[in-house]
A and B are shown apart, each in its own frame.
Chain A
Amino acid sequence: MQKHSQKEHLYKLLVIGDLGVGKTSIIKRYVHQNFSPHYRATIGVDFALKVLSWDAETVVRLQLWDIAGQERFGNMTRVYYREAMGAFIVFDVTRPATFEAVTKWKEDLDSKLVLPNGKPVPTVLLANKCDQGIDVLMNNGIKMDQFCKENGFVGWFETSAKENININEASRCLVKHIIASESDPVQSIESDIIKPHLNSSKIVSCSACFKS
């Protein structure tokens, strides 16, 4: 009955990161609430749709683009970045090399995609497979916070698609930042400095996403 007053947002989200870090598993867990250790490798791009009732007046439809992780596909899959509103960059905590690739993925993303206001798209870092008990870096959350600030991530989460840990939380964090960046009027990049109050409010909402 209140349908007419509901706002609907459609957001295209990218899920990127090295091969085999669990991008497809995270999406399957998030959208279909299940997990299988037997997913087939993604070739090209796979798709999923998640509908969230964000609040009483807002429905959020998330179009998830699950992009193949092999570096070689780079040229081919970059066209899929177009018009995305947010991104998850995923790495596998049991394989340090996939974390080393995170900055490369982030740089690549930022160089190929900016929001209409000229800012980089909100991106959340996911440290997946945290159920495996093999911590290559996780015992220093402060360093991760620092890493995210330096590299422009709006938040980071230790996730497990297998045990369903933190995936909904990570998505809420990303959507919150997308909504905030949408309400941000079109302006130049210097706006951060011109309007410090806007910026500081972002830091508050951001650190709320971080694990305390």
Chain B
Amino acid sequence: EYEEKTGRAHRPLSPKQNVRKNLDFEPLSTTALILEDRPANLPAKPAEEAQKHRQQYEEMVVQAKKRELKEAQKRKKQLEERCKLEDSIGSAVLTWNNEILPNWETMCCSRKVRELWWQGIPPSVRGKVWSLAIGNELNITHELYDICLARAKEKWRSLSTGGAEVECEDAGFSAADREASLELIKLDISRTFPNLCIFQQGGPYHDTLHSILGAYTCYRPDVGYVQGMSFIAAVLILNLDTADAFIAFSNLLNKPCQMAFFRVDHGLMLTYFAAFEVFFEENLPKLFAHFKKNNLTPDIYLIDWIFTLYSKSLPLDLACRVWDVFCRDGEEFLFRTALGILKLFEDILTKMDFIHIAQFLTKLPEDLPSEEFFTSIAAIQMQSRNKKWAQVKRLLIFDNR
């Protein structure tokens, strides 16, 4: 419709061929109405006025041409960048598929792979890389998943009909089990990435998320369902088939840091926070002092970030990139990411008081700039007086004993 309009607007131009000839392309946004002769019932335009109009028109054309050329160049550049990005993703996919994945054990720790890894894993191979990196220490098979799921379904059925025998059988785990009940998981599923509308009742992944969480409560009744798990399972479902997502989920939660948090081992969690503070002070001493002064303890913002592995607080694409490197570097990267966030916003955070910092960190800006964000993380040194994360943590655990 737009072209039609501009086309019509250009038609009156045709008598003024001399003006049009020296244009290599027609600016879309100009019309030459001022070049028109006056209607017959009015006195004709004096020559100098017509000349002036012609000049004005030419100036307008030149300006418009400049603007459009600039726009066109910008579009071309954007397109080139996108093509370049797509090319690099395309070639990265090839490298991952043809070189790295078939030789995982020997290649996964090489410098080249580690660097490629930092750039972000292409979505099409992401699930595979995550699975390999997380591993399957627990030796969970697809059959085990099916068995756990069948048990979960049985339990839900008897819960909804109020069966008594199940209660007896599970008496030993009554507290955890009550929390693991159908209702709790159901409540949280509807509140997992609600804006994506795929995990909610009637959405395509609703049952999958339900199944994985249910199966896990049967696999690990001592842990049960804990808030935050639904977000982790959801991110895995977006990248893996159901049974593989379950295997990755169970193995991920079995890692020391995740076990400490999901079992709400308060002492151990405090140790993690203390280790985090060592690196916080080392990397951002000014902000650290400001937080101390305002009584802003790390639990206030870290709990949400660690429990959901950033999937709730960061935009999903950034969260996945954090997961990429988390799979490469382990738990210390979760804390490095936290410091990266603090560093990125250091200037504004230093000007805020307690409640505003707390609000800011529990609800990060939605338009986090991805490159700056990862540059900021990269600038964080996970070394404190020659001690690495694991050593600092070990010393703190030792101190607590």
Contacts and interface: CB of A to CB of B under 8 A. Distances in A.
Nearest to A24: B191
Given A43-B303, A76-B266, A76-B303, A70 B227 contact: yes
B346 interface: no
A63 interface: yes
Nearest to A73: B264
Interface in B200-244: 224, 226-228, 230
Interface stretch (A44-52, A126-134, A145-153, A165-173): A44-52
B158 interface: no
Give the most central of A72, A73, A74: most B CB within 10 Å: A72
B227 A40 contact: no
Nearest to A70: B227
Given A19-B227, A38-B195, A73-B264, A44 B300 contact: yes
A158 to B, nearest CB: 21
Contacts of A46: 362-363
Given A39-B194, A76-B264, A45 B226 contact: no
Given A20-B187, A39-B194, A76 B179 contact: no
B358 interface: yes
A43 B355 contact: no
Contacts of A20: 187-188, 191
Interface of A: 19-20, 37-49, 63, 68, 70-76, 79
Given A20-B187, A72-B264, A75-B264, A43 B269 contact: no
A103 B119 CA distance: 52
Contacts of B224: 72
Interface stretch (B32-40, B88-96, B304-312): B304-312
B184 interface: yes
Given A19-B187, A73-B264, A75-B266, A41 B358 contact: no
Interface string B78-108: 0000000000000000000000000000000
A46 B363 CA distance: 8
Given A43-B228, A47-B359, 7 more contacts: A19-B184, A38-B191, A41-B192, A49-B359, A70-B226, A75-B264, A75-B266
B137 interface: no
Contacts of B193: 40
